[in-house]
Structure 1
Amino acid sequence: MQGKGGPVLTTKEAAALLGVSPRRVNNLIEVGALKAQKFGRAWMVDEASVRERVQAKPQRGRPRADAGVETARYTLMCHDHEVLAFTYHGRTGSVAAVEPLDGIAWKPFGVGRRDREPNRYDMAEWLRDRAIPGLRPHLPSALRDLAVRTPAVLMFQSWGLSLSDPYWFRPEGVEVSWAAVNYYDNGYDEDFGDLMLTGLSPRNAGEPAFADGRPASGAKGAPAITRSPDTATNGMLSKTWVRRRGTDYLIKGGTGNENREPYNEKLATRLLERLLDPNEFVPYTVTERHGRAYSSCANMAGPDTELIPAQDVLTAFGITEGRDLHTGYLRALEELGVEDGRRLIDKMIVADYLMANFDRHTHNFGLLRSVEGLDGYRIAPLFDHGCGFYSRATTAELEARPYVWESHPFREYPSQQLALVEDLGWYDPSALDGFLDDIAEVLGENPEIDERFIAAVQKQTERQIQTVNDLAAERGVVVAGW
Structure 2
Amino acid sequence: MADKLHHQYVLMHKNVSVADLELDTASGSISAVGSVHDDAHVPVGISVKKGKIDRATLNEWWQGRAIPASRDGIRHALMELNVATTQQLLDKCLGLSLSDQYWICPHNSGIEWRNVNFFDNTFSDDIGNILLGKGSSSNKISLMSPDNTSDGWLKKKWAILDGKRCLIKGGSGATQQEPYNEVLASRIMDRLSIPHAAYTLMLQEDYPYSVCEDFITPQTELIPAWYIMHTRQKPNHVSVYQHYIDCCKTLGIPGVRNSLDRMMVLDYIIANEDRHQTNFGAVRNAETLEWVGTAPIFDSGSSLWFSKPQAFISPLYKSAVQALQS
Q: Same fold, TM exceeding 0.5?
A: yes
Q: Quick one: distance in 2 between partners of 1:97 and 1:362?
A: 28
The residue that corresponds to 1:343 in the other structure is 258
In the TM superposition, residue 144 of structure 1 has moved relative to its aligned partner by 2.0
Q: Quick one: distance in 2 between partners of 1:114 and 1:344?
A: 32
SS in 1 for 2:182: helix
Pick 1 or 2: higher relative contact order, CA cutoff 8 A, min separation 6. 2
Segments of structure 2 that go 5 or more residues without pairing to the other structure are: 319-326
In the TM superposition, residue 99 of structure 1 has moved relative to its aligned partner by 2.2
The residue that corresponds to 2:76 in the other structure is 141
Amino acid at match of 1:203: S
**Structure whose residues are more often helix by fraction:** 1
Cα distance change, pair 321–130 in 1 and its aligned pair in 2 (3 A) = farther
Q: Quick one: distance in 2 between partners of 1:367 and 1:335?
A: 13
Question: In the alignment, is the contact (CA less than 8 A) between 2:157 and 2:167 conserved in 1?
Answer: yes
The residue that corresponds to 1:124 in the other structure is 59
Amino acid at match of 2:254: E
**Structure whose residues are more often strand by fraction:** 2
Map of 1:315-354 to 2, 5 A cutoff?
315-319=230-234, 324-354=239-269
Computing the radius of gyration from Cα coordinates, the structure with the larger value is: 1
In the TM superposition, residue 316 of structure 1 has moved relative to its aligned partner by 2.3
Matched, 1:368 2:283: yes
Cα distance change, pair 237–173 in 1 and its aligned pair in 2 (3 A) = same
| 1:88-135 alpha-carbon deviations (Å, 9 max, x no partner) | 223345423212432231121143479984211011101121100112
In the TM superposition, residue 286 of structure 1 has moved relative to its aligned partner by 0.9
Cα distance change, pair 318–74 in 1 and its aligned pair in 2 (3 A) = farther
Cα distance change, pair 331–116 in 1 and its aligned pair in 2 (3 A) = farther
Identical residues among aligned pairs (%): 33
Question: In the alignment, is the contact (CA less than 8 A) between 1:82 and 1:104 conserved in 2?
Answer: no
Q: Quick one: distance in 2 between partners of 1:118 and 1:133?
A: 24
Amino acid at match of 2:182: E
The residue that corresponds to 1:77 in the other structure is 12
The residue that corresponds to 2:185 in the other structure is 268
Question: In the alignment, is the contact (CA less than 8 A) between 2:27 and 2:87 conserved in 1?
Answer: no
Q: Quick one: distance in 2 between partners of 1:177 and 1:162?
A: 15
In the TM superposition, residue 271 of structure 1 has moved relative to its aligned partner by 1.1
SS in 2 for 1:331: helix
Q: Quick one: distance in 2 between partners of 1:113 and 1:358?
A: 35
The residue that corresponds to 1:308 in the other structure is 223
SS in 2 for 1:368: strand
Aligned partner of 1:288 among 190, 198, 203: 203
Cα distance change, pair 244–305 in 1 and its aligned pair in 2 (3 A) = same
Cα distance change, pair 157–322 in 1 and its aligned pair in 2 (3 A) = farther
TM-score, normalising length: structure 1: 0.62
SS in 1 for 2:64: helix
Cα distance change, pair 118–272 in 1 and its aligned pair in 2 (3 A) = same
SS in 1 for 2:229: helix
SS in 2 for 1:285: strand
In the TM superposition, residue 322 of structure 1 has moved relative to its aligned partner by 9.1
Q: Quick one: distance in 1 between partners of 2:46 and 2:137?
A: 36
The residue that corresponds to 1:162 in the other structure is 97
SS in 2 for 1:162: coil
Map of 1:438-477 to 2, 5 A cutoff?
none
Amino acid at match of 2:111: V
In the TM superposition, residue 355 of structure 1 has moved relative to its aligned partner by 0.7
Question: In the alignment, is the contact (CA less than 8 A) between 2:126 and 2:141 conserved in 1?
Answer: no
Q: Quick one: distance in 1 between partners of 2:49 and 2:292?
A: 15
Deviating more after overlay: 149-158 vs 89-98: 89-98
Alignment coverage as a number of residue pairs = 317
Segments of structure 1 that go 5 or more residues without pairing to the other structure are: 1-66, 209-225, 404-482
Matched, 1:256 2:173: yes
Q: Quick one: distance in 2 between partners of 1:339 and 1:120?
A: 31
SS in 2 for 1:183: coil
| 1:33-56 alpha-carbon deviations (Å, 9 max, x no partner) | xxxxxxxxxxxxxxxxxxxxxxxx
| 1:250-307 alpha-carbon deviations (Å, 9 max, x no partner) | 0001101110100111111121111124xx1111111012331011101010110101
Cα distance change, pair 245–237 in 1 and its aligned pair in 2 (3 A) = same
